[in-house]
Amino acid sequence: KNEVEQSPQNLTAQEGEFITINCSYSVGISALHWLQQHPGGGIVSLFMLSSGKKKHGRLIATINIQEKHSSLHITASHPRDSAVYICAVKTGNQFYFGTGTSLTVIP
Amino acid sequence: DAGVTQSPTHLIKTRGQQVTLRCSPKSGHDTVSWYQQALGQGPQFIFQYYEEEERQRGNFPDRFSGHQFPNYSSELNVNALLLGDSALYLCASSLGWNMNTEAFFGQGTRLTVV
């Protein structure tokens, strides 16, 4: 069993839809990161969370430490949001990564 | 601020050869971690360097080695390349070891072993 599980693995949405990606983890963590990876590889850190909720533009991330669960929400989705979204948890000095959610937003 | 930079961006090597990948951390960061991402998988932790020493290591063989220089930049070396070493190699930098600080990732080096 992986330390970090994401769902869904693949997601196709129409432009404008509200999107939710879920992440569950099984280890004690000091922080959780949501990352965005575009084709070609480069990873961008969207959020770092240790509690509560953060919002940046159309992106919202929440975490429930007791339930070991986090969600990434995208409001009013746009084709440029198409990417792989990866949940990564930091425990000690090491990250454990989910396998990612591949999001395609269709115009 | 250039962020985390990795070189080269793409590389093709022959099985059995050796390869060196390079990473310059974000300005002010002193900790560098390396990850291997196979196609369709999440990144896997290789090792982490702080104060020019390997501080933590994932489940990778000794063919994978590294180095950190006084300016905090780092190299990842892989000897006796196998076809299975083909992957995207990511570098991440952060400030301080054993501190809960945000990590920044580079664009990665795509290694293909033929």
Beta carbons of B42 and A30 less than 8 Å apart: no
DSSP code of A75? S
Q: What is the C-alpha radius of gyration for chain A, rounded to an integer number of angstroms?
A: 13
Of A30 and A105, the one with more pLDDT: A105
Residue type, A6: Q
The pLDDT score that the predictor gives to residue B101 is: 77
Report whether A99 contacts B40 (CB < 8 A). yes
Q: Which of A30, A93, A96 sits opposite B48 (nearest CB)?
A: A93
pLDDT at A46: 92
DSSP structural state of residue A14:
E
Average pLDDT over residues A8-29: 95
Q: Which stretches of chain B score pLDDT less than 50?
A: none
CB pair distance less than 8 Å for A97 and B103: no
Mutate to test the interface with B, among A30, A38, A97, A101 (most CBs of B within 10 A): A97
Q: What's the confidence (pLDDT) of residue B1?
A: 60
Maximum alpha-carbon separation in chain A? 42
Does residue A3 register a pLDDT over 70?
A: yes
Question: Among A35, A42, A94, whose Cβ lies nearest the Cβ of B108?
Answer: A42
β-pair partners for B66: B76
pLDDT at B31 (0 to 100): 93
- pLDDT value, residue A58: 96
Using an 8 Å Cβ cutoff, are B15 and B81 in contact? yes
Task: Give which of B16, B92, B65, B113 is closest to A43, Cα–Cα.
Answer: B92
pLDDT (0 to 100) of residue B102: 79
N-terminal to C-terminal alpha carbon distance within chain A: 36
Closest chain A C-alpha to B65 CA, distance in angstroms: 17
How high is the pLDDT of residue B13? 98
SS3 call for B79? coil
Q: pLDDT tens across A50-107, in order?
A: 999 999 999 999 999 999 999 999 999 999 999 999 999 988 777 889 999 999 999 9
Closest CA to A19 of A60, A57, A69, A51: A60
